[in-house]
Amino acid sequence: MLVFSHSDCAGHVTPPGHPERVERLAAVEAGLSGLAVERRDCPMGDEADVLRCHPARYLARVKGAVPEAGWTQLDGDTYMSPGSYHAAMRAVGGICAAVDAVVTGEARSAFVACRPPGHHAERETAMGFCLFGTVAIGAKRALDHHGLARVAIVDFDVHHGNGTQDLLWDEGRCLFASSHQMPLYPGTGRAEERGAHGQVLNVPLRAGSGGVEMRAAYERLVFPALEAWQPELLLISAGFDAHADDPLAGLEWQAEDYGWLTGRLCDFAGGRVVSTLEGGYDLSALAASVAAHVQVLEERGR
Ligand SMILES: [Zn+2]
């Protein structure tokens, strides 16, 4: 079990009071402490990997938006500081290195502990704290670089992975399944949104619902879809903001729900799982949930 991270990810600094803050990384580290994982530094991301999902003009726009000091605001809640581009590119490098390691059999599973997150970034739109579609870039790396035929992404962040859906809408080789509170930001993710090939599965959950409802929804909808899809690799958009203590949303999951869900997801793709950090904004809940998630990945990857 590999964990990828990099000190550059602390160089993405958001304005005071912003929930997606540097301190999240210390909470993630607290969650990882004591777990028997092998640590690796993320390499710098390769622009060619980004360009499988985003056009060159968007990459150039993001790179050109890096401020010399302070912040550039890209949308209502997405900011760049002087270190943001490098942080986002470490996340890209981390997921690609994680995919490489798991696809080649060097490791059974991997977790990418980077920020900024990625699942809200659309082809040409930074939004929702996200610059590049990290998990979609990882899926494309598995498909186009390694030649896999079928991969799947499960996004259990409390918000819909609109960016991943946008980037992979036409990608018939990747099942994208997202569970999310609805209604909630960004407003997409209705069950009727199915992708160009019927390969998108959106599972809206009602505000106030908890682990019981989540488990039932996954058993009824997501696991059968994964069983039918038979992916060779499973990627996870691991947001931990469906936790009951999270300030941004209203689901009632507990840390043990993340452990249960992780274990069930390891039943697919022969246990070849690459997970990447998305949301999670209560620091104690984030630490406990990351611990539950990565502990199961480590146990199942032995
Ligand atoms: Zn989220």
Given a contact cutoff of 8 angstroms between Cβ atoms, the answer to whether 282 and 290 are in contact is: no
pLDDT value for 155: 99
Q: How far apart are CA 21 and CA 86, in angstroms?
A: 16
Alpha carbon of 249 to ligand 1 centroid (Å): 8
* Residue in 164, 37, 160, 141 with CA at minimum distance from that of residue 95: 141
What pLDDT, in 10s, does the model give residues 179-208?
A: 999 999 999 999 999 999 999 999 999 999
The answer to whether the beta carbons of residues 110 and 11 sit under 8 Å apart is no
Work out the average pLDDT over 66-75: 97
Q: Which residues are catalytic?
A: 120
Strands annotated E in 27-173: 38-41, 72-75, 78-80, 109-112, 151-155
- The predicted-structure confidence for 252-280, as pLDDT tens digits, reads as follows 999 999 999 999 999 999 999 999 999 99
Mean local confidence (pLDDT), 42-63:
98
Q: How many angstroms does the Cα of residue 159 sit away from the middle of ligand 1?
A: 4
Give me the long-range contacts of 24-27 (CB less than 8 A, separation at least 24): 24/115, 24/280, 24/281, 24/283, 24/286, 25/113, 25/115, 26/283, 27/280, 27/283, 27/284, 27/286, 27/287, 27/290
- 98 CA distance to ligand 1 middle (Å): 22
- Reply yes or no: is the peptide bond before residue 186 cis, omega within 30 of 0: yes
Task: Please spell the DSSP secondary structure of 49-92, one letter per residue.
Answer: HHTTTS-HHHHHHHHHT--SSS-EEEETTEEE-TTHHHHHHHHH
Q: What is the pLDDT of residues 112-123, one digit of tens each?
A: 999 999 999 999
| C-beta of residue 101 within 8 angstroms of C-beta of residue 151 | no
| Residues 6 or more apart in contact with residue 19 via CB below 8 angstroms | 247, 248, 281
> What percent of the residues of the chain are helix, what percent strand, and what percent coil, each to the nearest 5?
40, 20, 40
Q: Quick one: tokens of 74? A: 């890209």
CA 105 to centroid of ligand 1, rounded, Å: 30
Q: Please give the distance, rounded to the nearest whole angstrom, from the Cα atom of residue 241 to the centre of ligand 1.
A: 6
**For residue 155, which of 141, 282, 130 has the smallest C-alpha distance?**
130
147 C-alpha to ligand 1 centroid (Å): 30
Note the pLDDT of residue 178: 98
Q: Are 277 and 114 in contact (CB under 8 A)?
A: yes
What does the pLDDT read at residue 11?
98
Mean per-residue pLDDT over the chain, rounded: 98
How many other CB atoms are found less than 10 A from the CB of residue 187?
11
Provide the whole-model pTM: 0.98
Task: Return the pLDDT at 296.
Answer: 98
Taking the C-alpha atoms of 101, 106, 107 and 110 in order, what is their torsion angle to the nearest 10 degrees? Answer: -10
pLDDT of residue 75: 94
